Amino acid sequence: MNFHSKPLVLPFLFFLLAGSILFHAQAQTVRFWYHFDNADNPMTSLVEKFESENPGIQIEAENIPWNSYYDQLYTSIAAGDAPDAAMVKLNALPRLLEMEALVSLDNYFSNWAGKANVQENLFELTRAADGKHYYLPVQYVILYLYYRADLFAELGLQVPNTCEDFRTVAKALTRDTNGDGRPDTYGFGFRGGKGGHDHWASLTLSRNGVGFGKGQLTSAEGVKGTQFVLDLFQKDKVFPPSAPNDGFKEIIGAFQAGVTAMTIHHIGSSKGMVEALGNKVSAAPVPECGGGHWTAFGDESTAIFSSAEDKDAAWKWISFLSSDGNNAEFNKATGQLPVTKTDSAKWNLHEKRFVDATVASLPYAQLLPNASETADFTNSVWPISMQRALTGQIDARAMNREIDSLYNP
């Protein structure tokens, strides 16, 4: 550098710095809320990859604790401080639509090449009651029955296909193994706390003519289903005594510790199960009850909120998460199943037996009603009435009546 160019250096550096600041100031920020239980999540690497592919868009991804996720989401929308995009479940869709909080994604879908790579039935499942799409599927699971294959082999038991089989094996698996006069293994880890409605549903809603329509739960078959659950706890005593309060951690912990021999959950917990139990744990579809089959379809999608400043930027981010390769990375953290066909075809994160149980359950995997009452059902009406029924404060008919009157006032 010669003497004559030195005076140009400072102005050059100044404009370079100013340009950098201005560039970052103009970079569009997309605020994204998610809920990962796994602390070692790849959201950071996904954000970095997206930002390198999309200069000019910055992602502020925030992990919100699951227990208060929807509390915070709804209150943030009401307060005008909603994120631009977030992970959402179908049972929140009616409320979010009532709040006019969502952006229709139909125009984005029609111009998106990645749409063909997402499993078609997921688009149908996530369609809103008004026929539009507000959700973009990002992962899914289907609930199945975990069982201790070693205990089954020890006792010469077969995997239960029907509710009657289920009751028989659960009773056989409830044992006093150390001779102290008290059972120390139980046949089934029932989740009586919040989130356990899927357990009850598999044993009740499967029955012919039983659903959430008016009078269906209070019919003889409906009451019989709930009574079946109550009898398992109160008469057969195949649930641990803590069942009325047990949540996710309790049922998984009890199963891994050998306190229970069966429970219901999904592929998201399979990695932990294998780490704890190895080949002793296996999975099968939930039993058929009362002539039918019902298991929960665990959905998860992303959505763009109507308050988002740059909806196009938000769309780029959420479509990135549901595209080939990125969707696989996303699901490596959550342990759930990818929605893209290409990622599903080469998916090897989970042991085959759990994938097989999931796929075998797909034909009868169902969602709860797409109504705003479902949030009340899952958050308060079901857990409270189930706990009261299990502890004998109300009977099966009273429990079903509470649920029926919620959906059919």
Partner 1 sequence: MGKTPFRHSFQVLPYVMVAPSVVVTLAIVFVPMLQAIWMSLHEYVLFRPKAIQWIGIQHFLKILEDEVFWISLQHTVVWISLTVPAQLLLGLLTALLLNQHFFWRPLARALVIIPWALPSVVISLMWVWIYDANFGILNEFLLRLKLISYSIPWLADPDTALYAIILTLTWQGFPFFAVMILAGLQAIPKTYYEAAAIDGASVIQQFFYITIPGIAGVIFTSVLLRIIWVANSLDVIFVMTGGGPGYATHTLPLYAFVEARTSLDYGYGSALAVTFSLLLTILVVLYLTRAQRSIDQ
Contact set with partner 1 (CB under 8 A)? 71, 74-75, 78, 95-96, 98-99, 181-182, 192-194, 240-246, 254, 257, 259, 372, 376, 379-380, 383-385, 387-388, 390-391, 393
Nearer to partner 1, 150 or 376 (CB): 376
CA distance 195 to 368: 13
What are 136's two structure tokens?
């973009």
Nearer to partner 1, 59 or 262 (CB): 262
CA distance 388 to 394: 6
Give me the helices (H) in 29-68, please. 43-53
Q: How far is the CB of 78 from partner 1 (least distance, A)?
A: 5
Nearer to partner 1, 71 or 275 (CB): 71
CA distance 244 to 403: 18
Nearer to partner 1, 144 or 377 (CB): 377
By three-state DSSP, how is residue 30 classified? strand
Name which of 79, 87, 165, 93 is nearest 130 in CA terms: 93
> Quick one: the chain helix, strand, coil %, rounded to 5?
50, 15, 35
Nearer to partner 1, 95 or 350 (CB): 95
Task: Please give the C-alpha separations between residue 74 and each of 244, 246, 369, 372, 409, in angstroms, as whole numbers.
Answer: 28, 26, 20, 13, 24
Name which of 382, 373, 375, 376 is nearest 205 in CA terms: 382
CA distance 300 to 136: 9
Read off the amino acid at residue 51: E
Q: How far is the CB of 255 from partner 1 (least distance, A)?
A: 11
Q: Residue 129: which residues within 8 A CB-CB, separation 6 or more? A: 94, 370
CA distance 157 to 147: 11
Q: How far is the CB of 245 from partner 1 (least distance, A)?
A: 4
Nearer to partner 1, 63 or 391 (CB): 391
Nearer to partner 1, 4 or 182 (CB): 182
By three-state DSSP, how is residue 165 classified? helix
Nearer to partner 1, 37 or 221 (CB): 37
Length of the chain as a residue count? 409
Q: How far is the CB of 404 from partner 1 (least distance, A)?
A: 18
Q: CA angle at residue 89 from 62 to 305, to 5 degrees?
A: 60
What are 171's two structure tokens?
């009773």
Q: How far is the CB of 113 from partner 1 (least distance, A)?
A: 35
Q: How far is the CB of 74 from partner 1 (least distance, A)?
A: 5
Q: How far is the CB of 389 from partner 1 (least distance, A)?
A: 8
Nearer to partner 1, 33 or 239 (CB): 239
Name which of 146, 120, 95, 152 is nearest 303 in CA terms: 95
